[in-house]
């Protein structure tokens, strides 16, 4: 199928595209999202087609003010002192066109004001380029949400669940870039940093530039300004710390590598759980305190399990997504 030459009408009547818009699924996301990113010239036509497909099925609620303004504009354009019988058919056609325009306008308004969401599955990483040119790498089992358009003068805000590495572009008007990560708001102007937000903790690692961390409004803590090579961590029990680290230890996952630095087996079990969706039982539990240093490839769950078994001399038993680790 030569999608590159498609018009909005072509997209509307394409069965596979319609099915994805109305019934999105992970396999189809893996086809369509990369296609849209790789074909920027087609994005406007695809957006128009999505609006027409969605609004033919579920016309959404649009603020009354928006509809009133649209209808008043239409009335002003269509007002005429008399309507002759011979022109009834023509006016019916015009009225039908007006209805389509109103629905399309309402659809466009709702589309522009709905958030854009990027997600990764277990074991998947994904590279993104945001509207402002900032680059983001999403780690496995993560979600990033943001507005479809950032208005001039507004903060560039994103909401993160999981883990991501950000390389933020600096704007001439010094527009802030803010990552909302559960307990923390990370504010930057232009820099490279990693944000980790999982059940155990929220961590921010600064590779270069300058960031300011804002704790929740209910907290009595003051804002913190980080320097390159620092890691700030807020644990699940509410305690926090700021320390110097080697940035590559916390961003190597972007190159599918895992760097161990006195890393415990418990830390590796968390990676298996968070990034690959596995349930891991370690017996005896004292094994969780074993530590190791070094580097290993981070390709998939099976390879990681094999390397963990060799590193700590463990026996691995697996049933679907349940893993049992015991001493050999």
CATH code for the part of the protein at 115-248: 2.60.120.1440
Read off the pLDDT of each residue in 190-199 and give the average, rounded to a whole number.
91
Low-confidence winner among 107-116, 184-193, 315-324 (lowest mean pLDDT): 107-116
pLDDT at residue number 313: 94
Rounded to an integer, what is the distance from CA 270 to the centroid of its chain? 21
Domain edges within the chain: 3-112, 115-248, 256-327
pLDDT, position 83: 47
Q: What are the tens digits of pLDDT across the range 168-179?
A: 988 877 788 999
Helices assigned H by DSSP within the chain: 8-12, 15-22, 26-38, 43-57, 64-78, 88-112, 247-251, 265-276, 301-312
pTM of this prediction? 0.66
Torsion sign, CA atoms 244, 247, 251, 252: negative
pLDDT at 79 over 70: no
> Over 90: is that where the pLDDT of 243 sits?
yes
Question: 17-31, 85-99, 277-291 — which one is most confidently predicted on average?
Answer: 277-291
Q: What is the pLDDT of residues 109-142, one digit of tens each?
A: 444 556 789 999 999 999 999 888 899 999 999 9
pLDDT in tens, 226-235: 999 999 998 8
Arch. (CATH architecture) of 256-327: 3-Layer(bab) Sandwich (3.55)
Three-state secondary-structure class, residue 223: coil
**pLDDT at 87 exceeding the cut of 50:** no
105 — phi, psi (to 5°)? -65, -45
């Amino acid at each position: 199928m030569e999608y590159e030459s498609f018009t909005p009408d072509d997209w509307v009547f394409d069965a596979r595209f319609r099915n994805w818009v109305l019934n999105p699924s992970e396999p189809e996301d893996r086809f369509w999202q990369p296609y849209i990113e790789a074909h920027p010239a087609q994005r406007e036509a695809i957006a128009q087609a999505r609006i027409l497909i969605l609004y033919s099925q579920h016309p959404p609620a649009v603020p009354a003010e928006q509809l009133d303004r649209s209808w008043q504009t239409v009335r002003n354009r269509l007002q005429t002192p008399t309507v002759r019988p011979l022109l009834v058919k023509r006016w019916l056609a015009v009225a039908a066109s007006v209805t389509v325009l109103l629905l399309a306008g309402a659809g466009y308004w709702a589309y522009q004001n709905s958030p854009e969401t990027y997600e990764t599955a277990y074991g998947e990483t994904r590279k993104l380029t945001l509207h402002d040119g900032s680059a983001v790498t999403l780690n496995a089992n993560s979600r990033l949400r943001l507005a479809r358009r950032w208005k001039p003068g507004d903060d560039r805000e994103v909401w993160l669940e999981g883990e991501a590495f950000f390389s933020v572009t600096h704007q001439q008007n010094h527009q802030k870039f803010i990552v909302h990560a559960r307990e923390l708001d990370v504010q930057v102007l232009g820099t490279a940093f990693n944000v980790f937000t999982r059940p155990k903790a929220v961590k921010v690692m600064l590779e270069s530039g300058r960031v300011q961390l804002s704790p929740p409004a209910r907290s009595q803590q003051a804002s913190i300004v980080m320097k390159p090579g620092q890691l700030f961590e807020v644990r699940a029990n509410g305690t926090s710390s700021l320390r110097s680290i080697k940035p590559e230890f916390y961003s190597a996952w972007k190159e599918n590598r895992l760097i161990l630095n006195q890393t415990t087996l418990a830390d590796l079990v968390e990676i298996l759980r968070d990034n690959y969706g596995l349930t891991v039982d370690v017996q005896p539990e004292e094994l969780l305190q074993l530590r190791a240093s070094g580097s290993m490839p981070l390709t998939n769950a099976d390879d990681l399990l094999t390397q963990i078994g060799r590193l700590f001399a463990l026996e691995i038993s697996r049933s679907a997504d349940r893993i049992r680790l015991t001493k050999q």
